[in-house]
Amino acid sequence: MLIVLPLLTFALLFVCLNAAQEPGQPEPPDWRKAFLQAALLWGGLVALSSEALGFFNLLGLPGVAGFWLVFAVMIAGVGWKTGVLKQGWNGLLRRKNNLDRLEKWVGGCLVFLVSVLFLISVIAPSNNTDSMQYHMSRVAHWAQNQSLRHYPTGFEPQLLNPIWAEEAILHIRILWGSDQPANLVQWFAMLGSLIGVSALAKLLGANSRGQIAAAVFAACLPIGILEATSTQNDYVAAFWLVCLAYFVILGARRRLSQLEWISLALALSLGMLTKGTFYPYAVPFGIWFIAVRVVREKPRFIAVQSLILAVTAVLLNAGYWLRNIQTYGGPLGPAAWVQNQTAKSFGLAPLAATLSKNILLNFATPSEWLNAKLVAWLDTVLTWMGQGTGTMRLIWAWNYEDLAGNPLGVGLVLLTLILVYIFRKKILNPIRTGYLLAVLAAFLMLCLVVTFDQYGVRYQLPFWVAFAAVFGFTLSEINPPRLAPALMFFLLLTALPYTLINRSRPILALRQNPERFGIRCLPGLGCTSVGSILHEPPSAVMFANWTEIRDPYQAITRAVQASGCKNVGLQIDSHEWEYPYWWLLQAPQSGIRIETLYYAPALNQYEDPAFKPCAVICTLCGGKPEYRGLPLAGDFGFGLLYAGENYQPAAP
């Protein structure tokens, strides 16, 4: 299996970096630091290779496999010759396990949780709404074009939004031959985040129990559990934030080595390349880091360090930025698009309003009446401040990755902050205070900069993950004999429903008429729209979030396959699901080429005039008997199929 090549590269980097940790530093060597550095270097390789191979239209199987093979051989050769492979491996084998019995039990529960999520990630097809509209659709277009270049599309976030998570999916998809392992990018980000927050807690002075408590807090986040088996990108952004925080803390403790500087630069750059919401999260950590540098370092040294950060950010993001500049005139897309994604007004009142609304998103209940009352109450308060809730609603979807709230997390954050205040003389020191303020400021920056989104609870995931380290060192310091174990096991128990009854990808389905691996719907929990992923075929699970379109999509793609057509055009609305057409037609690996025929004028420059479809799937044709010379071949309710050999391009 060629997919082992990038995995082997990561493993070799990890082992080598475990041996390359600098001696003489105040903190002892930690394999978790090597893990984070290996992930950052691997992420940089994904970004650089995608741009380089794509520039020459080589972003296909030979190019991607060849790239990872060359790097794996290079790393193995250098590691073997210098002895760092053996040294790093022996270091991992010699690592002592000082966990007590309770910590081993909790660690075993974490392993079980992560393993179940791995199983779901591998079995279940991608089926998140955003994934169907743009995450996976852009991956399919890139695989077809063997390039990251822009292309005609009706849903422009496929082009506008940052790209790293999908680049990683692309490499895996190309090497595997299909998208079956695509969910593993988010799963790995969760695994890395758990390792990272435990390392953060240790760096902040937490004992082993505090480090495990931090990992438990992060592992049991509802939105995190649900997203970890999807092809979204919030967990990937959270992982890069954890990496950034780790090296910022190191920089606050001492001068960073060259490799640590590169790691810091990669964390910042990869976060920027992954998701727009990473920018406000990174700002407070950047301010903290700069403040420490100004106090400790000479201006010349600061200038050199800043240059490393800037060059790395530009190097990794240049391709993405330049394509957007060429198409839309700005690195992040059209000015109107950027303005729509950011807050329209700034100040204490708008910040308080957005902060309140974001917190309230975590408190949706099964009662529509109570939800409406909560929003009305908040609207009354905000109106007094000259603000308001606007069109905000509370939607009860406890096990859905776009809407799952975290009321328990809000309570634990408040409890932790109260404990920090009560025991501040014992808990706080300059580094911990700086980290706590940076984490809280990061959430405030998110609320200040990013426009409120009804589905924005998922944007909060990086905050919850980063706060886990605060939870860990707080429990470590107050050291209550029973509170910490009770909280950890309680959190692990609360994680089980989200793990097993994911609405989009359930292992245990809630159904009116239960079938295999299913039970009857429970009051307040609702039903899942599909059966268990252990029982349902993938073609059914894919449409779990929009079951009404499953039969029309399957029927229309069967008709395309029966026609033998290899060039398929899509005339579909911008917010309709595009990726299921690729998945059902097994494109592009089946030899079928798919192109979008309905797109904005700005994308005319990317149209291929030589493309002449012999089949067009249309949801915008209103029952017309003919589409550009192709006769109507079938009406499937949700869409029409036109097929033939006389396609006539639209007039310029």
DSSP string for residues in 505-539: S-SSEEESS--TTEEE-BTTTB--SS--TTTS-HH
- Both structure tokens of 199: 């390392």
Sheet of 626-627: strands edge to edge? 593-596, 567-571, 615-618, 640-643, 630-635, 626-627
**Average pLDDT value for residue range 601-611:** 93
Q: Within a 10 A sphere around the Cβ of 601, how many other Cβ atoms?
A: 6
Residue 339 pLDDT: 86
Among the listed residues 587, 615, 553, the one whose alpha carbon sits nearest the alpha carbon of residue 142: 587
pLDDT mean over 503-511: 94
Backbone angles phi, psi at 383, to 5 degrees: -65, -40
Half-sphere exposure of 348 (CA within 13 A, CB side): 1
Tokens read off for 410:
């809000």
Q: Is residue 596 part of a domain?
A: yes
What is the pLDDT at residue 538? Answer: 95
Is 532 part of any domain? no
Q: Band the pLDDT of 318: cuts 50, 70, 90.
A: very high
pLDDT band at 171 (very low <50, low <70, confident <90, very high): very high
Q: What does R_g of the chain's alpha carbons equal in angstroms?
A: 25
CB neighbours of 483 closer than 8 A, spacing ≥ 6?
475
Among candidate residues 411, 439, 463, the one where a domain is terminated: 463
Q: Are residues 455 and 357 in the same domain?
A: yes
- Number of domains, the chain: 2
Return the ∠ at Cα 144 (arms to 141 and 150), rounded to 5°: 45
277-281, 286-290, 292-296, range with greatest mean pLDDT:
277-281
Domain co-membership, 353 together with 454: yes
In Å, what is the CA distance from 512 to each residue of 26, 227, 496? 60, 26, 21
Assign 377 a pLDDT band (cuts: 50, 70, 90). Answer: very high
In the chain, how many H helices and how many E strands? 27, 8
Q: Is residue 593 part of a domain?
A: yes
Mean pLDDT of 258-277: 95
User: What pLDDT does 500 receive?
Assistant: 96
The pLDDT, as a whole number, for residue 610 is 92
Last residue of a domain, one of 436, 463, 490: 463
Q: Do 355 and 459 have their domain in common?
A: yes
315 domain residue, yes or no: no
Tokens coding 348: 């204490």
Q: Give me 226's structure tokens.
A: 């649900």
Return the pLDDT at 370: 96
The predicted pLDDT at position 607 comes to 93
pLDDT in tens, 522-559: 888 888 989 999 999 999 999 999 999 999 999 999 99
Is residue 634 situated within a structural domain?
yes
Could you list the residue range(s) of the whole structural domain that residue 613 is in? 547-643
Per-residue confidence (pLDDT) for residue 15, from 0 to 100: 94
193 contacts: CB under 8 Å, gap ≥ 6: 218, 224, 235, 238, 239, 242, 465
Contacts of 564 (CB under 8 A, 6+ apart): none
pLDDT at 22: 64
Whether the predicted pLDDT of 23 surpasses 70: no
Degrees to nearest 5, angle at CA 162 with 505 and 582: 50
- For residue 172, name the pLDDT band (cuts at 50, 70, 90): very high
Within 13 Å, how many C-alpha atoms sit on residue 617's CB side?
A: 31
Are 110 and 183 in contact, with CB atoms under 8 Å apart? no
Is 451 within a domain? yes
pLDDT value at 630 more than 90: yes
Residue 347: predicted pLDDT: 84
Q: pLDDT-derived band of residue 46, with 50, 70 and 90 as boundaries?
A: very high
Q: Is 473 exposed, middle or buried (0-12, 13-18, 19+ CB in 10 A)?
A: buried
Q: What is the pTM of this model?
A: 0.96
Q: Give the angle 599-602-607 at the CA atoms, nearest 5°.
A: 60
Tell me: do 557 and 455 sit in the same domain: no
Q: Is 648 within a domain?
A: no
Contacting residues for 209 by C-beta, under 8 A, at least 6 apart: 100, 102, 103, 475, 476, 484
Asked if residues 15 and 181 have their Cβ atoms less than 8 Å apart, the reply is no
- Final residue belonging to a domain, choices 463, 481, 498: 463
Q: Are strands 567-571 and 626-627 parallel, antiparallel or unpaired?
A: unpaired
Q: How confident is the model at residue 99 (pLDDT cuts 50, 70, 90)?
A: confident
Alpha-carbon gap, residue 514 to 361, rounded angstroms: 31
Q: Do 465 and 224 form a contact (C-beta atoms < 8 A)?
A: yes
The mean pLDDT of 467-472, rounded to a whole number, is: 97
What pLDDT score was predicted for residue 652?
58
Structure tokens at 565: 């057509």
Asked whether residue 27 is domain-assigned, the answer is no
Please tell me whether residues 458 and 361 are part of one structural domain: yes
